[in-house]
Structure 1
Amino acid sequence: MDITWEGVMPAITTKFTSDDKLDLHMFKTNIDAQIDAGVHGIVLGGTLGEASTLREEEKRKLTQETVKIINGKVPVLLNIAEQSTKAAIEAAKKAEDDGANALMMLPPMRYKSGDKETVTYFKTVAKSTKLPIMVYNNPVDYKIEVTLDMFKELVNDCPNIEAVKESTRDITNVTRIINRFGNRLKIMTGVDTLALESLLMGAHGWIAGLVCAFPKETVAIYELQRAGRIREAIELYRWFMPLLELDINPKLVQNIKLAEVYTCIGTEYVRPPRLPLFGKEREQVIDIIETALSKRPFLPPYKQL
């Protein structure tokens, strides 16, 4: 399947049972809700997917199950976040074998690689696979920035490096990327609280977090702005903002999973050492969710725009 780098692609959460096993039933419930809402792709194994806690066989099982559930409706992407180039190459091969349509790739984990090391890492993995690649550029959380000069070397040398998940928190970077690369490097905004601004400045799509609990509202914002109905998109985005802020928080996994409980498409179970929210922190998040739900807006027929 060819991938079109546009639209809303959920960074999907991994569902667990109370005894810390994969909950494939609730996982399917959530994926079905995403597809019904009109998302344009599914991203597995990201931070929201608690990838660092997943065993290799669990990642493969989730990929295989998602491919089966999706059945070609939208592309399935697997995130690669490894400590060594060798492990990243192996992960890319397994993703391809398991039916993934594309990869999202972080720089090397733990080791703070220099510019040349980072570029060499991406190039080596890209040349080992036929799958299209989206480079995840998040220097705020992962401490390594892929600069425009580094991207120039990557796109010149690796045709399958096609997109960037732009998470620098700098809206002007969208314009810089477009000015430098035109349509050669597609831009997927990766920060929920900057999503509409990024789309209006030319980003092609949105790798989203709160979409896991509110898929229809997320897709509606994308489709409204795409259709030029900016005022309606802004009004919906303003309602959504207190929820979107739950994504830019160290407890984003717990926050979003709690929101999924309230919208009946997830559970709170997380993999230790994470624990579900408790105390005042839990009360504050519940208040945000319940307040938003009490004012949940009516959505226009956004799929027909």
Structure 2
Amino acid sequence: MNIDWHGVYPAITTKFNEDESLDLDTFRDHLRVQVEAGIHGIILAGSLGEASTLNREEKLQLLDTALDEVGDEIPVLLNIAESTQRDAIQLTKEAEVKGASGIMLLPPMQYKADKREVVSYFKAVAEATDLPILIYNNPVDYGIEVTLDMFEELIEYDNIQAVKESTRDLTNVTRMKNRFGDRIKILCGVDTLAMEAMVMGACGWVAGLVSAFPDETVAIYELVKAGRIEEAREIYRWFMPLLELDINSKLVQNIKLAEVATGVGTEHVRKPRLPLIGEELEHVQSVISESLEKRPKLPEIQQPVSSR
């Protein structure tokens, strides 16, 4: 499946049973809710998907399940966040064999690689696969920035096609457009900057709160792309207190509580994460409940066939 890198790509949560085993039935149900809301692709086993707690077999099990459930309807990407180049290449090759549409690729984990090492790592993975690659650029959380000069080296590989732009610097969208035009497709990776990034030319949104509020997330994207900025802005302003739950170290717990509130998931997380308690829990529940009370009626949106 080709990827055109436009639209809303949920970095979907991983569903667990109370004993921390994978809850694939709830995972399937959640995938179906997302697709029915009009999302454009799915990313498995990312940070929000608790990648650091998943072993290789579980990541591939999630991929098999997602491909079985929705693989013919939308692109299904597997996140590659490994500590060694060898492991990254192995998992990428396994994902390709199983039928993944593409991968999201992070710099090496644990070791803080320098620019030369990061470029070499990305090139090695790109050379090992024909899958389309979405580079994840998040220096705030991972301590490594993929600079424009680094992208200049990477674009010699046709399958390095897009970036999840999470630098928190909105001007980076314009810098990338000025330097590379449409060669590198830009998807905003920060919920609280998504509308601004799309107005400035980003192609889409790798989203977090979409897991609980897919209709609103898709509506904002479609309205912005249709030039209906005022309508999108009204929804976005309502959404902002919820979106701020994503830029938090407890984003997984926060978003899973939102999924419970909207009836599309459970709050089960895998240790070392623990369910929220005390003032933290009260604050998140308050944000969610107040937002649900004011949940807006969405306007009619004509979704073009090409956007699905």
Q: TM-score range by the shorter chain?
A: over 0.9
List aligned pairs for 1:36-115, cutoff 5 A: 36-115=36-115
CA distance in 2, matches of 1:100, 1:165: 18
Structure 1 letter corresponding to 2:280? E
Q: Look up the match of 2:148.
A: 148
Regions of 4+ moved over 3 Å: none
Deviation at 1:18, TM superposition (A): 0.7
CA distance in 2, matches of 1:213, 1:232: 21
Structure 2 letter corresponding to 1:215? P
Using a 3 Å threshold, how does the CA distance of structure 1 residues 71 and 116 change in structure 2: closer, same or farther?
closer
Q: Look up the match of 2:166.
A: 167
Structure 1 letter corresponding to 2:252? V
Contact 1:175 1:202 in 2 (8 A): yes
Contact 1:38 1:303 in 2 (8 A): no
Using a 3 Å threshold, how does the CA distance of structure 1 residues 71 and 119 change in structure 2: closer, same or farther?
closer
Contact 2:222 2:303 in 1 (8 A): no
Structure 2 letter corresponding to 1:302? I
Q: Percent same amino acid at aligned positions?
A: 62
Structure 2 letter corresponding to 1:286? Q
Secondary structure at 1:302 match in 2: coil
CA distance in 2, matches of 1:135, 1:102: 11
Question: C-alpha offsets along residues 161-185 of structure 1, whole Å, 9 cap, x if unaligned?
Answer: 0000000000000000000000100
Structure 2 letter corresponding to 1:146? V
Question: C-alpha offsets along residues 16-63 of structure 1, whole Å, 9 cap, x if unaligned?
Answer: 001111111111111111001000000001000001100111111100
Secondary structure at 2:273 match in 1: coil
CA distance in 1, matches of 2:87, 2:300: 45
Deviation at 1:94, TM superposition (A): 1.0
- Asked if 1:257 is matched to 2:250, the reply is no
Secondary structure at 1:164 match in 2: strand
Secondary structure at 1:68 match in 2: helix
TM-score by length of 2: 0.98
Secondary structure at 1:187 match in 2: strand
Q: Look up the match of 2:299.
A: 300
Structure 1 letter corresponding to 2:248? N
- Asked if 1:235 is matched to 2:234, the reply is yes
Q: Look up the match of 2:283.
A: 284
Q: Look up the match of 1:186.
A: 185
Using a 3 Å threshold, how does the CA distance of structure 1 residues 66 and 106 change in structure 2: closer, same or farther?
same
Contact 1:7 1:206 in 2 (8 A): yes
List aligned pairs for 1:188-203, cutoff 5 A: 188-203=187-202
Question: C-alpha offsets along residues 174-227 of structure 1, whole Å, 9 cap, x if unaligned?
Answer: 000000000100000000000000000000010000000000000000000110
Deviation at 1:303, TM superposition (A): 4.2
- Residue ranges of structure 2 left out of the alignment (5+ in a row): none
Q: Look up the match of 2:12.
A: 12
Deviation at 1:301, TM superposition (A): 2.1
CA distance in 2, matches of 1:190, 1:152: 21
Question: C-alpha offsets along residues 244-297 of structure 1, whole Å, 9 cap, x if unaligned?
Answer: 000000000000000000011100000001001111100000000000000000
RMSD of the TM alignment (CA)? Answer: 0.7
TM-score by length of 1: 0.99
Question: C-alpha offsets along residues 117-151 of structure 1, whole Å, 9 cap, x if unaligned?
Answer: 00000000100001000100000000000100000
Deviation at 1:97, TM superposition (A): 1.6
Structure 2 letter corresponding to 1:161? I
